[in-house]
Amino acid sequence: MTDFEKLGMTALRRLDPETAHRLAIKALVKGWAPTVKPYEDELLETEVFGLRFCNPVGVAAGFDKNAEAPLAMLASGFGFVEIGAVTPRPQPGNPRPRLFRLTEDRAAINRFGFNNDGVEAVAARLRALPGRRGFIWANLGANKDSEDRAADYVTVMQGLWGLVEAMTINVSSPNTERLRDLQGRAALDALLARCIEARDALTEETLRQTPLLLKISPDLSEAELADIAEVCLERGIDGIVATNTTLSRDGLASRHAGEAGGLSGAPLFQRSTAVLRQMRRLTGGAIPLVGVGGISSAEDAYAKIRAGASLVQLYTAMIYEGPSLGPRIAEGLAALLRRDGCYQFEMAVGADNPV
């Protein structure tokens, strides 16, 4: 971290976490944030879903819910940024406070509940962006009061089609009642049938392909994961993001540990990596995986990659380390790949978890 970034992070940590986050986004939009030098290295280039990533380290969903600062995050050295969750209609989310720092645990608990400006506003913002270096993905959500959640995902997909390079169906947020039920076999099959049908219709109509991914929870049993893997393979989902936040509260020391919501950050690392590992085995490596949950160092990112992740994402560690963590992880990752004799990034993917 530069001295300027350290100063900024110290000042932000004195504020309520949601206010600090708003300010950080504002600083990024206005160009006030400390300039971070991207780390560029051919060894980190990789092709996934037919897209050529300049590096495999991305910003996880929820950081930039309304697509206010995706270019700033790309410019600071992330290979891709997932905006959202975006729902069809704007909604305020849950009452504040709804984001808590668990500093001793290097973690966070949030119960935002998909607060966002709605698909029209987000689409307008994306449409107005100048050219980009790197990819923008969108996290698709459903409105809290929706009677047909599958229709919501399809509406957001249609609204953002052509404006982003990939989309993630988020059925794993713990902060929208009964959303996670969509991960059950029958419900997921019905949901994916509709989403894939919509994806294929849009592809045909626009002659443009946009990969559709599914983001899953870390709180699933082996049997539930097996069902999800089977449905994803049968329906032709393009990728799986493992994982979202957890409801588990094991081994926490911070005073906010009892808050309701999803836990992210360091305590999530082991569980989310175990789910990723299982998913690779259950899908036989046939579907690209995105590893997210508790990454705060190059070693963490590398462990996810060796467990089977083709790409990685992070959010919570940035609350503590600032946005320069992205390029720092990218640089460390390149060093680890070289140390282990990998002359192509793909050689490391799943190296510890052969299928």
**Catalytic pick from 76, 146, 172, 173?**
173
Q: Which is nearer to ligand FMN, 81 or 292 (CB)?
A: 292
Separation CA 118–CA 173 (nearest Å): 17
Which H or E element spans position 137? strand 135-140
**Binding string, residues 260-299; x marks residues near ligand FMN by CB under 6 A:** ----xx--x-----------------------xxxx----
Q: How many residues bind ligand FMN (CB under 6 A)?
A: 27
Distances (CA, A) of 328 to 37, 296, 324, 353: 9, 10, 6, 26
**C-alpha Rg value of the chain to the nearest Å:** 19
- Residue 314 interacts with ligand FMN (CB under 6 A)? yes
Least distance between ligand FMN and beta carbon 262 (Å): 7
Query: DSSP 3-state assignment of 161?
Result: coil
- Residue 170 interacts with ligand FMN (CB under 6 A)? yes
* Residue with tokens 């989403």, as numbered in its chain: 195
Could you say which of 91, 273, 316, 324 contacts ligand FMN (CB under 6 A)?
316
Alpha-carbon torsion, ordered 120, 125, 126, 127, to 10 deg: 80
Separation CA 101–CA 18 (nearest Å): 10
Q: Which of residues 88-117 bind ligand FMN (CB under 6 A)?
A: 99, 108, 110, 112
Least distance between ligand FMN and beta carbon 17 (Å): 8
Q: Which is nearer to ligand FMN, 84 or 88 (CB)?
A: 84
Are β-strands 57-59 and 80-86 bridged in parallel, bridged antiparallel, or unpaired? Answer: parallel
Q: Which of residues 207-226 bind ligand FMN (CB under 6 A)?
A: 215
User: Is the alpha carbon torsion for 179, 183, 186, 189 positive or negative?
Assistant: positive
Least distance between ligand FMN and beta carbon 204 (Å): 28
- Residue 85 interacts with ligand FMN (CB under 6 A)? yes
- 355, burial (CB in 10 Å: exposed 0-12, middle 13-18, buried 19+): exposed
Least distance between ligand FMN and beta carbon 30 (Å): 21
Which H or E element spans position 52? strand 51-53
Is 173 marked active-site? yes
Least distance between ligand FMN and beta carbon 201 (Å): 24
126 within 8 A of 337, measured Cβ to Cβ: no
Could you say which of 28, 33, 54, 61 contacts ligand FMN (CB under 6 A)?
61
Q: Which residues pair with 63 in a beta bridge?
A: none
Least distance between ligand FMN and beta carbon 341 (Å): 28
- Residue 173 interacts with ligand FMN (CB under 6 A)? yes
Q: By beta-carbon distance, which residue lies closest to ligand FMN?
A: 62
Catalytic machinery residues: 173
Residues in touch with ligand FMN (CB under 6 A):
60-62, 65, 84-85, 99, 108, 110, 112, 139, 170, 173, 215, 244-245, 264-265, 268, 292-295, 314-317
